[in-house]
Amino acid sequence: MNTLLDSNLGRTVLSLWSWFVIGVVVILWFPMVAVVRLVTMPFDRGAYAAGYLFRKLCVVHQRLTPLWTFKVVGQVPDDPRRPYVVVANHESFVDILLISHLPMEMKWLSKAEFFKIPLVGWMMKLVTDIPVRRGERDSAIEALKQCRIRLDRKVSVMIFPEGTRSRTGELQPFKDGAFSTAIAAGVPILPLAVHGTITALRKSDWRLGHSHAEVRVLEPVSTEGLGPDDVATLREQVRDLIAAELDSVRAGV
């Protein structure tokens, strides 16, 4: 099996298998998510149940993908309905699949293009994920407004504060939006450190790569008593926490 995994032919075959699997899983998942959303809509305004089910397709796919192993490290908050603004570094598209292994529902701030993908995009709309058009200020303002609505409905939101993937894996500067939203809503920040996904799916290569990835859940950072003037300080505090954790995981700590 190891010889197959290590060969170019093996990687091609296993990649074809993995893409086939995700296609099948998505087809199976769509009607289940739709039914759950329809049934729970009268009493679940935050679409928590449907969203939680939607993320689990990522768990099923990963377990059927021989090239990847994922791990969650750290303490996930005990109360899944206490809202957080969740932030993470961004190495790869596969970060989404890895973070979806956390046993909590979050509404994702995602590129508007994703919502146009058949079945996947339809599910994102059903579970009330939040579209944003890159480079459009009005879209960004509306997206952060929608984040506030989700938080008010006792559902966490997930934002990549770098704004886009890092091509090298090195941490990029953070943008203000996640932190100003957390302060305005009076909710804590939940930082995540993601490592190892950059090899799972490389730009300009449809084939999957070997990946032993993990997401580390860090201690929540309170926004109690903070105001608009504290956004930059909070932003850099959280970035420093994630940077330090990435240094630790790369050092094997």
pLDDT digits (tens, 9 = 90+) for 102-131: 999 999 999 999 999 999 999 999 999 999
Mean pLDDT on 44-58: 97
Range of the domain at 47: 2-250
Mean pLDDT on 157-177: 90
Q: What is the spatial order of strands in the sheet that 156-159 belongs to?
A: 68-73, 211-217, 189-195, 85-88, 156-159, 106-111, 130-132
Selection from 151, 152, 61 nearest residue 101 by Cα = 61
C-alpha span between 208 and 15 (Å, rounded):
5
Predicted pLDDT of residue 253:
66
Predicted pLDDT of residue 202:
78
Position 195 pLDDT exceeds 80: yes
Mean pLDDT on 23-49: 97
Position 167 pLDDT exceeds 80: no
Predicted pLDDT of residue 5:
56
What residue type is 232 in one-letter code?
A: A
Predicted pLDDT of residue 30:
98
138, two tokens: 């009005």
How big is the CA angle at 94 (ends 91 and 99), to the nearest 5 degrees? Answer: 90
Inter-residue contact 239 to 180 (CB < 8 Å): no
Position 1 pLDDT exceeds 80: no
Q: Write the secondary structure of the chain as one string of H (helix), E (strand) and C (coil).
A: CHHHHHCHHHHHHHHHHHHHHHHHHHHHHHHHHHHHHHHHCCCCCCCHHHHHHHHHHHHHHHHCCCCEEEEEECCCCCCCCCCCEEEECCCCCHHHHHHCCCCCCEEEEEEHHHHHCCCHHHHHHHCCCEEECCCCHHHHHHHHHHHHHHHHCCCEEEECCCCCCCCCCCCCCCCCHHHHHHHHHCCCEEEEEEECHHHCECCCCCCECCEEEEEEECCCECCCCCCHHHHHHHHHHHHHHHHHHHHHHHCCC
* Structural domain count of the chain: 1
Q: Which CATH number belongs to the domain containing residue 159 in this structure?
A: 3.40.1130
Mean pLDDT on 152-177: 91
Position 2 pLDDT exceeds 60: no
In this prediction, residue 172 has a pLDDT band, given cuts at 50, 70 and 90, of: very high
Of 8-17, 44-53, 90-99, 201-210, minimum mean pLDDT range: 201-210
Mean pLDDT on 60-75: 94
Position 3 pLDDT exceeds 80: no
% of the chain surpassing 90 pLDDT: 85
Position 6 pLDDT exceeds 70: no
Predicted pLDDT of residue 9:
85
Selection from 153, 171, 61, 34 nearest residue 105 by Cα = 153
Predicted pLDDT of residue 206:
87
